[in-house]
Chains A and B, each alone.
Chain A
């Protein structure tokens, strides 16, 4: 927030210089060390801390932003809170710049302007997240009860109350299980291939994993649709699991490779030095050491796949009643359940969709926190073992 040419600092330097200058040149220096100030009295210099005049400027700028925007809203009869926020921010930015320019210099003023903008972008990110989470909770909490969680939509008309999400939860769990069982071993072995074996295909595989990580999810759905559903097998939870597995492979592979990179080479060398062949050193030393990281990678992959709607729309088609078998016939899952209800025009269906959204968000949050906790514990264990 401030330049280095700070008056207080300048003063201290001046004092030192003058002391040096006053010392007669011919006199031999005094042998004992010059008396130092006690350490407690030395206030550490914080280059970014605000001094009083800057605090006053900040307050002035905030005040001018808020009051200016409030006056404008009252004058022009604007009612949107967002309008108020945008004008308050603009006025705040303007007055910050002008105050700093007049009291210090244009360079300081620009620096302060950018600082404010950068803080604003952080604020926007957090408030978007909170707004979204809060909105889902407020809209969805009313319909969320025991009956909602344990019944399906087969016996309720579109305008009735009641009905629930049970069939979609069952579908989600089965499809995620299938997708995980298929994709996680493949992804971890691919990561081992990329980082431990570094075989001839490593370059091209990394290239393809890059390509896959940007693959639109609907294209993955189309692929499974053409090679599975269209080949006489029909829509099923298994087909959805296959499509979701395609989306999980690149996420899990990349994160798992990052985790393998954090393993100390000393461990690999020790295993080899003890005479272990490579496969034993990987299976019994490297992978167990990276276990928590690999679990985190897998959970992040699941968290990505669990919210995907488009591929499931093309492969499982959705259904309003419970289908326990993932191998036979259409199946619902949570995002698709929400999507299909939202496309209907009546409020009862949309209210159900919001409750479904709350269930989905809670599921994602649980997975996210789980990944964090396991990941952090693993990092601590790895850090301690070194």
Chain B
């Protein structure tokens, strides 16, 4: 045999071949060019953090750093700003959207990967991609004009029959139900379904097929296979996908700004009119804002930036780790 033992070992381990190459001057120029293109992204993220921080200083000084995050006021004439209520509102909307989106998105991922016949699968993947490409303003106006009436019905039903759960309570029996965090959350949910679906699909597709088939061959039902093999395998990755969706929901602007009846204070009654988020604050207040108020809006933007950055990087780290493990 011509193969020596190191060769055999390399074959077995499928080690990629090492390519020896000489680096010419053209290569060096080319590499510098690509590296500087890659560095643009570094500058953008660094610059965003830096410049937003610089421009946020006047408002934060005037309002006080602590009270900016612990009060709920917006009074540009005296320079009193606080975004606590909006921070809470942002998290309320994002949470509602996760509650609606996660079952739908995971069901959709399972349907596309495991259940659907080939022809339907093509239609489904295209639909999900197209849903991802739809502008948020279209979601917003459709949500406002088409989805509100049926959702108000759902909301009043939830309140009527499930008001034992604090989540579904109203401040007073006849409180208006239009333009609520619940409706906004549902619309945002439909916008984050595509990202959760596509990331979960990628994660689930990495599950070794032999294990799934083994579960079926042992007499398991399809749901048994999914529950015992697929979901445990994809648990971490799906968590990451959900976190990614959460990050998107936190930053969603225009659909929220169009639908919500904007209030500065947090509204704990999810089904009831009124609410707000940081991103919608910026979109709504910006067109009429002057010097100090603009600085306050930038400070709010900085808070949003840090929040989404943390959530996103955490999510990506989780997803990436599962991909390396697989």
Contact = CB atoms under 8 A, between A and B. Distances in A.
A214 interface: yes
A230 B304 contact: no
Given A83-B153, A219-B251, A360 B223 contact: no
A209 to B, nearest CB: 6
**For B144, B258, B279, B301, which residue has the most chain A Cβ atoms within 10 angstroms?**
B301
A227 B42 contact: no
Nearest to B246: A214
Interface string B10-24: 000000110101111
B305 A216 contact: yes
B173 interface: no
Given A4-B219, A353-B141, 10 more contacts: A5-B219, A108-B221, A111-B224, A115-B223, A205-B39, A214-B308, A215-B251, A226-B52, A277-B26, A310-B253
B133 A368 contact: yes
A357 B134 CA distance: 11
Nearest to A213: B312
A360 B135 CA distance: 8
B51 A216 contact: no
A158 interface: no
Interface string A210-221: 111111111110
Interface string B56-79: 000000000000000000000000
Interface stretch (A11-19, A28-36, A52-60, A278-286): A278-286
Contacts of B39: 201, 205
B148 to A, nearest CB: 12
Given A121-B104, A207-B313, A222-B298, A306 B135 contact: yes
A270 to B, nearest CB: 11
Contacts of A300: 133
Contacts of B137: 307, 309, 335, 338-339, 357, 360
A308 B251 CA distance: 13
Interface string B119-142: 010011011111101111111011
Interface stretch (A64-72, A144-152, A191-199, A377-385): A191-199
**For B38, B51, B54, B105, which residue has the most chain A Cβ atoms within 10 angstroms?**
B38
A2 B104 CA distance: 24
Interface residues of A, number: 104
A167 to B, nearest CB: 17
A128 interface: yes
Contact of A277 (B24, B45, B154, B283): B24
A338 B305 contact: no
Given A80-B150, A136-B138, A110 B301 contact: no
B206 interface: no
A169 to B, nearest CB: 15
Q: Which 5 interchain pairs have the tightest Cβ spacing?
A: A307-B135, A216-B251, A121-B107, A214-B312, A189-B37
Contact of A194 (B29, B38, B107, B305): B38
Interface in A266-296: 268-269, 272, 277-280, 282-283
A308 B221 contact: no
Interface string B214-227: 00110101111010
Q: Is the contact region of chain B dominated by helix, strand, or loop, or is it mixed?
A: helix
Contact of B31 (A115, A199, A246): A199
B251 A214 contact: yes
A51 interface: no
A210 B30 contact: no
B129 A368 contact: yes
B37 A135 contact: no
A233 to B, nearest CB: 14
18 contacts: A80-B149, A83-B153, A114-B223, A122-B107, A126-B124, A132-B134, A139-B145, A189-B34, A197-B35, A218-B253, A219-B308, A222-B297, A226-B51, A249-B41, A278-B23, A307-B135, A309-B283, A342-B141
**For B22, B131, B141, which residue has the most chain A Cβ atoms within 10 angstroms?**
B141
A210 B35 contact: no
Contact of A119 (B40, B115, B251): B115
Contact of B304 (A196, A216, A368): A216
Contact of B308 (A185, A199, A216): A216
A283 B26 CA distance: 12
B233 interface: no
A115 B150 contact: no
A181 interface: no
Contacts of B52: 219, 222-223, 226
B282 interface: yes
Contacts of B27: 277-279
